[in-house]
Amino acid sequence: MALTDREIIGRDDANDVDAIIEIAKANANPDEIVHMVEDNADAIFTWNYDKGERLRLDRLYEKAKTSQWNATTDLDWSIEVDPYQALNLQAELQIGDPSLQEDPTSPLYKWGDKEWEEFGLQSSKWRLSQFMHGEQGALLCTAKIVETVPWIDAKYYAATQVVDEARHVEVFARYLDEKLGGGYPINPHLGLLLDDIINDSEWDMTYLGMQIMVEGLALAAFGFMHDFTEEPLLKKLLRYVMSDEARHVAFGVLSLQEVYQDMTLAEIRHRQEFTFEAALRMRDRFLQQEVWEYMGVDTREMCKRLLDAPEESKVFQRMLFSKIVPNCRKLGLLDAGEGWLREKFTEIGVIEFEHMPDTGAEFTDYDLSEEDFEAKQADMNAAAASTAVGDE
């Protein structure tokens, strides 16, 4: 029997502002230092050590072994950083709807340069903090994949990703601490998603939740952040992290393709429902409620305005799904079961990205020379933006 939206996402309406805020309040714990999640998965040994049986995973593993970098020595931490200019996303991108600055009833109507400058800093700190927390989630999840995946080629590759994720946590934590003066606690919507991924007993769900959803969104976001920042340390940091992340998402695509083609429709439907839930949790997270609270703005009013904003003003937020949707299509999740997930992605306004390149092979584009990479990344972002606004 099909689950209702309430059973999947805990509310009848995906845009129920009161429910979104209540979920965040009920699960926020900014003073928490250690967070425990029950892990229900089985640890699987395999006595078949024949390396290379899954050729594409083996190639990914070999690539990972030669693509390691050192966060301490390969980045110039002596660079002076102006925290107010580090990320410097345009205000209309950060809030989604630029009319909020012009509407006399808007909480932002009387903001001057001082408020916008402070908002820019806090938003940058918040964004990088959530990516740091997500990278720790990836660290735990990839360690779990080493335990639970039944193929030796996947265990080999996942072990390299554990090292990658530890490096990512390290580098974001250091940048936030030394250059931006500290960060934010984990957003409750992101925290609940990470808990669900780790708690699940099915090994492929760890792949789906982390490699496809969380890492897929991060890869897109890092690309846009890389384009917008002119701060040299952050720009190089993001360049290194993106090269790793592209392999991580490809790992999920290459692994799950084989698994999903043999699943029953009921099993696929469960994966579709989880994918939709994960997409909403990540969308709700980007309402950045903690920043509005810091700025002394009515959080409920801002979240409602952002959710109710016209679709054409949500281009940046929708572009964050430009990696997720084509990868779901590649895995057959969009159209299985009479296109249930396609309908859900249409409801939240991200289906237009389905024909963007998937990451199963795209990861090689992130190993180009710096000049070629800049051009390729600009092309990818331009394609995503064009798709989001409906250009032909």
Q: Which domains does the chain have, with CATH numbers?
A: 65-74+99-389 (1.10.620)
Backbone angles phi, psi at 321, to 5 degrees: -95, 10
Q: Which of 12-16, 221-225, 246-250, 386-390 has the lowest mean pLDDT?
A: 386-390
pLDDT the model gives residue 102: 81
* Letter string b/e over residues 26-57, b meaning 16 or more CB atoms within 10 A of that residue's CB: eebeeeeeeeeeeeebeeeeeeeeeeeebebb
Q: Which of 4-18, 130-144, 229-243, 293-307 has the lowest mean pLDDT?
A: 4-18
Q: What is the mean pLDDT of the chain?
A: 89
pTM score: 0.91
Q: Which of 85, 77, 385, 60 is nearest to 243 (CA)?
A: 60
Q: Does residue 133 surpass a pLDDT of 90?
A: yes
Residue 236: both structure tokens together: 């190089």
260, HSE (Cβ side, Cα atoms, 13 Å): 25
pLDDT the model gives residue 218: 93
Q: Quickly list DSSP for 105-173.
A: TSTTTT--HHHHHHHHHHHHHHHHHHHHHHHHHHHHHHHHHHHH---HHHHHHHHHHHHHHHHHHHHHH
Cα torsion angle, 210, 216, 221, 226, sign: positive
Residue 209 is given by DSSP the state I
The answer for residues whose C-beta is within 8 angstroms of residue 83's C-beta and 6 or more apart is: 121, 124, 125, 179, 180, 181
Instruction: Read off the pLDDT of residues 76-95 as tens digits, 9 standing for 90 and up.
Output: 999 999 999 888 765 545 55
